[in-house]
Structure 1
Amino acid sequence: MNLVSDNQAQNPGTQNTGYYEDTTHGTPPLLQYWHAILRHKIAIATIVAVTLMIGVLFTLLTTPYYTATSRIEINRTQDKVTNVEGLQQEDTGQNLEFYQTQYALLESRSLAERVARAQNLATRDSFFEAFGIDPEGGGLLTTKANPNSAAERNRRLKLATDILIEHISISPVRGSSLVDISFESPSIKLSADIANSWVTEFVASNLDRRFDSSADARKFLEERLEQLRQKLEDSERQLVFYADRKQIVTLSSTTGADGRTVGGQTLATANLESLNAELAQATAQRIAAESEAKQSSGNKDSLSYLAINGIRQQRATIAAEYAKLLVQFEPEYPEAKALESQIAALDSAIAQEEARIRSGNQASYREAVAREKQLSEKVNQLKNLFSGERRASIQYGIYQREVDTNRQLYEGLLQRFKEIGVAGVGSNNISIVDRARLPDKPSSPLLVLNLLLATFVGLIFAGLYVFVFEQIDQTVKDQSDVRPNLGIAGLGSIPDLEKDDILESLKDKKSLAWEAYLSISTSLSFLTDHGVPRSFLMTSTRPNEGKSTSAISLATVLASTGRKVLLVDADMRNPSLHVLLQEKNNAGLSTYLSGQNELGDLIQVSDEYKFHVMKAGPIPPNAAELLSSDRVAKLVARLNDEFDHIIIDAPPVLGLADIPLLANTVEGVVYTIEANGPKLKAIEAALERVHTSHAKIFGAIITKVAKQHSGYGYSYEYSYGGNASEQS
């Protein structure tokens, strides 16, 4: 047949068909794992139970620990205590690195040492004893070490610090700037004290770091200020020396918005400006004097002629009176003569006054000209001086700018120094939200958690046990293991039932056992071109693998179809067929091969199972000698003429020479394998012995397979659930 040709070419001596090959429909891996778990369920339960007991004992024997938790808030920016800028930038810590740094600082060894010193833990033996540690041991120092020595204090401080680091835990509150600091110890009060001291010292250390950074900045600024102060003094000294050397006397200066000296008024500038103003005034006076001097009689309305005007006014009055008298009297009239004399005296006074004024104007003009000339000469002198000063002011401006620059740097650093001194201390971005309270119940050990962990560990060990056992367990579990491990076809699986139960189940054609053997008989019908082999031998690796029970069951199933079936018990060393059929073993195959009985007398019909039986007969002294004769082959040939099927229940293969003698007398061999029975090496050795006899191996039947371990069994349990449950 085409279905078996390729397989036969790969495995000479075997005949397999596509009907039995389960490689394409093998048991899924998850189902295999489940079957492995079911096979080792007792061991798994035992391992888990042991780990649970260990977990309970561990919980009961472990010293209870109490956990106290305090909570702080870490802001990314500090509060503005002052209105001046601090040392750090305002956007410092606006990222994840800031908080990671704070968490690392909370777990730092330096902080743990601060707490140990603050709580004076190095000198408290009760602290070490609470954690079950001998403070006098564990180091190079002996118990006789001086407790007051620096080495011993440092050792105890290091030991206390290690304990604190081991039992402290930092837990950031997700999605917030809050952080929980928890400390666990066997002492309720100690846990709360350490948790509170931890946050207190963390706040203090943060302030110390800020102060230290400010102190470093102040130290740097002090050094820089001293340098700038000296540089400013030098530049000012150079400016003064240069001004003295060049006789530059600055009277006033103006400072711009940027702090630089914009301009200044020197003595030369002030003098030139003052003399220039006086020169202008003198020139004006000279022009006015010249104008007055050129006038013939002066300006009547001028204030300089007030005296003349008064005399003239008096003359006019007298002249009016004189004219009035002349109307009545002659010029010679005494009163008229008196008035005329007064008028003449007034005219003489006016003439004298005008002469005096003309003489004064000339003198004033000459003085104005002299003063103007003198001021003009002085202004020219100051102009020459100012021109030299302007040339010297270039270098003076360079010195002045250097002074301004140094002064600005000095004042800026001085202001920064003052700001750091104010803003660097007293502000903090860490605040304590909740202080730790005395815990009211232990945090560890937790019975439920330990039981869960023990169960988990137990399952891990159980899984390792199952894995290792399955790796070293070289046995056949079910039908799916036959092809990959042995290279032969799997004809079917038989559920794990007692012999009596199987034989009893054969009375019910809906039972699980009947359906299993019916499936095997169906598989056998595809082995040859004429259906179920006319003759085949059933053997196994070792005794008690269900070979004889399977032989009876197959004979029963085949006989139920109306065929004439003969079952021969060829295991003359350990016959069992008569026991299963509950008959006597007075005569059988051994008596026939020894020539003592006729064949017809040795074959009987089983009224219960409806097939013919040839029992093994009395146990001969040497069964191999009887089987080595040609009477076996002749017997099988003769029986083939009388029966439709001949099933030979042969002895096991290993350790016996019977199978090679019997295998060539039949069409092929049906191998019986007990699930979880013989090792693969033993089965392979037995099959090799069968192959050496050039016998065909039709396939293997797997017996004693637990229903829950085999997919084959599931199909029948599904089809006949009620009967399956009853049979089980």
Structure 2
Amino acid sequence: MRIVMRWRYVILGSIVACVILGLILTLLMTPKYTATLTLEISRESNQVTNFQGVERETSLADQEFYQTQYGLLRSRTLAERVATQLRLVDDKLFFDRFGVNQDDPAFQEVNGRYAAAGRATRQRIAGEVLLDHVSIDPTRLSRLAKINVTSPDAEFSARVANVWAENFVQTNLERKVQATSYGRNLLQRELGQAKERLDDSQRQLVTYAEQQRIINLPSQGSGENSTQERSIIADDLAAMNTALSQATAARIDAEARVRQAGRGGQSSEALRNQAINALRQRRAEAAAEHERLMVQFEPGYPTARALQSQIAQLDRAIAREEGRVSGSIQAEYSQAQARENSLRSRVEQLKGNYLDLRRRSIQYNIYQQEVDTNRALYDGLLQRFKEIGVAGGVGTNNVAVVDPADIPQKPSSPRLLVNLLVALLAGVAVGTGLAFALEQMDEAIADPVEVERRLGLPLLGSVPKVVDVEPRDALLDRKSELVDAYLAIQTSLGFTTAHGVPRSLAVTSTRPAEGKSTTSLAIATMLARAQKKVILVDGDMRSPSVHHLGGVGHERGLSNFLAGQDDISQLTFEMRDLGFTGMSAGPIPPNAAELLTGDRLKILLARLLEVYDHVVIDSPPVMGLADAPLIASRVEGVVYAVESHGIRSSLVKTALSRLVAANAHILGGVLTKFEARKAHYGYGYEYGYSYGREKTS
């Protein structure tokens, strides 16, 4: 704030200059129009089919997808495509409108039109120009993105924005089609290779089957085994084994019947024979009739003998029929046994053939497995090929235009208020920078606090600048601000030594006209008013000034004593209005420094202190002269006067270093000609000097 207050006019000037410059530039700028189009970019496209896509699946939370889409919206290829569609590559007005340097050979004209040879270069440049005037503005936490196109022509901006979005949608679809096409081509190559492997394996299987005479028939089953083959030998063996089982069963059944027939005609076939059963029924009837007759008659009875003969004939007929049935059973048994033996021999033969076939089918099965594997791979690739074709044909786009770009009705730039605000901020920044730079370059002592901060001197006090009044007259006015200031300095001097104000002190400065003589006069006056006996010695023998205050000449003074005159009373004069004694510089010597190098100054101070309470020497300035260090080395302390806003601090430091080198005791600094209105802290110091006084108009 201190720096700002000090350089406030510089800062205000910078602000005014920047605002005026911003206003002029705004009025001179070409109006530009911004057309805005809103796009919706979905993370996933709508799935019309359930087929798996070709591209790798990624996480829904992956923001990399959207960053990729924004990058594609700013791609060079898209810009060049838009430039080509809008025919900007050969549009001279377009390149002139955007200030394109047409010194390139690609812009050479033939018959009033650009040459075709430079079309590729012009297309690249046109794309770069469009990219410079197109910006992508994603909407946070949404799937929306805005395409902003800025140009001097409102209609052109809207047209570019709409064509830009249209081409982005088309390129997005083309990339998907290209990805599907790439997958189809890859699968097609794989499908061809799989087909060749399947054909080779099938030919190898058929050739081996012909060589080994392996004949297999398709299976007649259903389910998983419906496609497997079966060999003829296996079928024959299965059929013969079944027939053998049936023949064995028939032989066992015939053998059982034979055994039954051997037990007196009690076989089941005899019991079921109708002829035998009819004969046995007739015999039973004849036997019953014979038994009835035997109850009444003798065995020789003719009827009885006839029945007896009939019974015997029936028994012979029954025996003949049972013999015939038994012979038939025996014949069937023999046939069944012969058939069983024949089938068993055939089964054994087929078993040998089947085992030989199995040995020869090991390699055949290897070839068959290779055929099945190749067929499964071929069928899978073929199914995948068909799915990709369908999925690629029915996929939808995941980019949609929400709001197309309309022709802007008012320019987007320049904006007067915004530009003025920017100019105002720029002016503040420039002014502040200049203030800090000037502060770093400015070595003037502006405030009393800077005496200690920059120079390292204790501040004895600050003296205000008096205008339109002589310092002597101001000191005579006990109510003046100058008197108040030097009273404060006198008070500060009272704390510099253990015995109060130093008895001998010199007042010096860096260069002339900094107020050292006024300070010397004021300190002597303040001490005299404190009822002290004071003498003011003009030590500046090169440019004396104390004699003017006393209204006398400088024919006698300090130089006389230093030259050898011992009568001090002839060298002094009284300043009754101020209350102290003065000693002029005396005649100006050829070389004042030579007079100060001896012991005469030390002797003078000793003799003066015998008479006076305080000796105040108005010393010459330090820079360029040896006088001040010589005087400073002889007195008890030095008061250093520094002109406010009038001397560089680096120069003061150099002068102080000379005094330090001369072993001078510097009591502190006095800031002279101080103007409160120019100070960094404003009214603070002036308030102290003018407190309780009435202002005169």
TM-score range, shorter chain: 0.7 to 0.9
> What is the match of residue 181 of structure 2?
215
The answer to whether 1:155 aligns with 2:124 is no
Root-mean-square deviation over aligned CA pairs:
4.7
Identity %: 42
Residue correspondence of structure 1 range 661-676 to structure 2 within 5 A = 666-676=635-645
Match of 1:250 among 203, 216, 233: 216
Paired AA for residue 500 in structure 2: G
SS in 1 for 2:55: coil
SS in 1 for 2:127: helix
**Is the contact between residue 2 and residue 681 of structure 2 (CA under 8 Å) also seen in structure 1?**
no
Paired AA for residue 450 in structure 1: N
Match of 2:34 among 67, 78, 82: 67
**Is the contact between residue 191 and residue 382 of structure 2 (CA under 8 Å) also seen in structure 1?**
yes
Distance 2:390 2:80 in 1: 30
Match of 1:196 among 144, 159, 162: 162
| TM-superposition CA deviations, 1:607-639 (whole Å, max 9, x none) | xxx54364969x978797799599988876665
Residue correspondence of structure 1 range 46-445 to structure 2 within 5 A = 46-91=13-58, 94-133=61-100, 136-139=102-105, 141-144=107-110, 147=113, 149-253=115-219, 264-294=229-259, 295=261, 296-297=264-265, 299=267, 305-310=273-278, 312-313=280-281, 350=318, 352-425=320-393, 426-445=395-414
Distance 1:721 1:274 in 2: 142
Match of 1:551 among 515, 520, 535: 520
| TM-superposition CA deviations, 1:537-587 (whole Å, max 9, x none) | 3232333323344334434543453434455566687677799xxx7x641
Paired AA for residue 274 in structure 1: A
Paired AA for residue 503 in structure 2: R
Distance 2:270 2:581 in 1: 183
| TM-superposition CA deviations, 1:395-421 (whole Å, max 9, x none) | 232222222221222222222222222
**Is the contact between residue 570 and residue 648 of structure 1 (CA under 8 Å) also seen in structure 2?**
yes
Paired AA for residue 79 in structure 2: A
Q: Please report how far the alpha carbon of residue 106 of structure 1 lies from its aligned counterpart in structure 2 after TM superposition.
A: 2.2
Paired AA for residue 522 in structure 1: T
Distance 1:662 1:287 in 2: 163
Paired AA for residue 197 in structure 1: V
Q: Larger deviation: 261-270 or 392-401?
A: 261-270
Paired AA for residue 195 in structure 2: R
> What is the match of residue 644 of structure 1?
613
Match of 1:523 among 472, 492, 499: 492
Distance 1:94 1:705 in 2: 71
Q: 1:692 to 1:297 in 2, by over 3 A?
A: closer
SS in 2 for 1:703: strand
Q: Please report how far the alpha carbon of residue 339 of structure 1 lies from its aligned counterpart in structure 2 after TM superposition.
A: 9.2
Q: 1:408 to 1:507 in 2, by over 3 A?
A: farther
Q: 1:694 to 1:223 in 2, by over 3 A?
A: closer
Q: 1:507 to 1:355 in 2, by over 3 A?
A: farther
Q: Larger deviation: 693-702 or 107-116?
A: 693-702
Distance 2:593 2:208 in 1: 145
TM-score, normalized by length of structure 2? 0.81
> What is the match of residue 490 of structure 1?
458
**Is the contact between residue 593 and residue 627 of structure 2 (CA under 8 Å) also seen in structure 1?**
no
| TM-superposition CA deviations, 1:337-360 (whole Å, max 9, x none) | 999998888767655544443333
Q: 1:146 to 1:94 in 2, by over 3 A?
A: farther
> What is the match of residue 24 of structure 1?
none
Q: 1:481 to 1:354 in 2, by over 3 A?
A: same
**Is the contact between residue 130 and residue 187 of structure 1 (CA under 8 Å) also seen in structure 2?**
no
TM-score, normalized by length of structure 1? 0.78
Distance 1:645 1:319 in 2: 200
Distance 2:31 2:656 in 1: 64
**Is the contact between residue 573 and residue 620 of structure 1 (CA under 8 Å) also seen in structure 2?**
no
Any stretches of 5+ residues in structure 2 without a counterpart? Answer: 561-566
| TM-superposition CA deviations, 1:19-68 (whole Å, max 9, x none) | xxxxxxxxxxxxxxx43333332223222322222222222211222223
Paired AA for residue 161 in structure 2: A
Any stretches of 5+ residues in structure 1 without a counterpart? Answer: 1-33
Q: 1:513 to 1:280 in 2, by over 3 A?
A: farther
Distance 1:418 1:80 in 2: 17
Q: Please report how far the alpha carbon of residue 437 of structure 1 lies from its aligned counterpart in structure 2 after TM superposition.
A: 3.3
Q: Larger deviation: 710-719 or 390-399?
A: 710-719
SS in 1 for 2:89: helix
SS in 2 for 1:169: strand
**Is the contact between residue 275 and residue 375 of structure 1 (CA under 8 Å) also seen in structure 2?**
yes
Distance 1:321 1:174 in 2: 128
**Is the contact between residue 55 and residue 179 of structure 2 (CA under 8 Å) also seen in structure 1?**
no
Distance 2:292 2:460 in 1: 185
Distance 1:511 1:297 in 2: 179
Q: Please report how far the alpha carbon of residue 237 of structure 1 lies from its aligned counterpart in structure 2 after TM superposition.
A: 2.2
Distance 1:71 1:712 in 2: 57
**Is the contact between residue 257 and residue 268 of structure 2 (CA under 8 Å) also seen in structure 1?**
no
Distance 2:407 2:470 in 1: 71
The answer to whether 1:701 aligns with 2:670 is yes
| TM-superposition CA deviations, 1:590-617 (whole Å, max 9, x none) | 55569999769932233xxx54364969
**Is the contact between residue 269 and residue 325 of structure 2 (CA under 8 Å) also seen in structure 1?**
no
SS in 2 for 1:174: coil
SS in 2 for 1:414: helix
Q: Please report how far the alpha carbon of residue 372 of structure 1 lies from its aligned counterpart in structure 2 after TM superposition.
A: 1.3
Residue correspondence of structure 1 range 1-20 to structure 2 within 5 A = none
**Is the contact between residue 542 and residue 654 of structure 1 (CA under 8 Å) also seen in structure 2?**
yes
Paired AA for residue 357 in structure 2: E
Distance 2:480 2:227 in 1: 120
Q: 1:311 to 1:65 in 2, by over 3 A?
A: farther
Q: 1:592 to 1:547 in 2, by over 3 A?
A: closer
**Is the contact between residue 491 and residue 524 of structure 1 (CA under 8 Å) also seen in structure 2?**
no
SS in 2 for 1:533: coil
Distance 1:303 1:576 in 2: 185
Q: 1:429 to 1:320 in 2, by over 3 A?
A: farther
SS in 2 for 1:114: helix
Distance 2:64 2:330 in 1: 98
Distance 1:551 1:694 in 2: 21
Q: 1:493 to 1:594 in 2, by over 3 A?
A: closer
Distance 1:146 1:247 in 2: 86
Paired AA for residue 156 in structure 2: L
The answer to whether 1:612 aligns with 2:583 is no
Distance 2:375 2:696 in 1: 111
SS in 2 for 1:239: helix
Distance 2:500 2:277 in 1: 178
| TM-superposition CA deviations, 1:90-112 (whole Å, max 9, x none) | 33564343333233222221222
Residue correspondence of structure 1 range 28-47 to structure 2 within 5 A = 34-47=1-14
**Is the contact between residue 146 and residue 152 of structure 1 (CA under 8 Å) also seen in structure 2?**
no
Paired AA for residue 252 in structure 2: I
SS in 1 for 2:514: coil
Q: Larger deviation: 381-390 or 99-108?
A: 99-108
Q: Please report how far the alpha carbon of residue 273 of structure 1 lies from its aligned counterpart in structure 2 after TM superposition.
A: 1.0
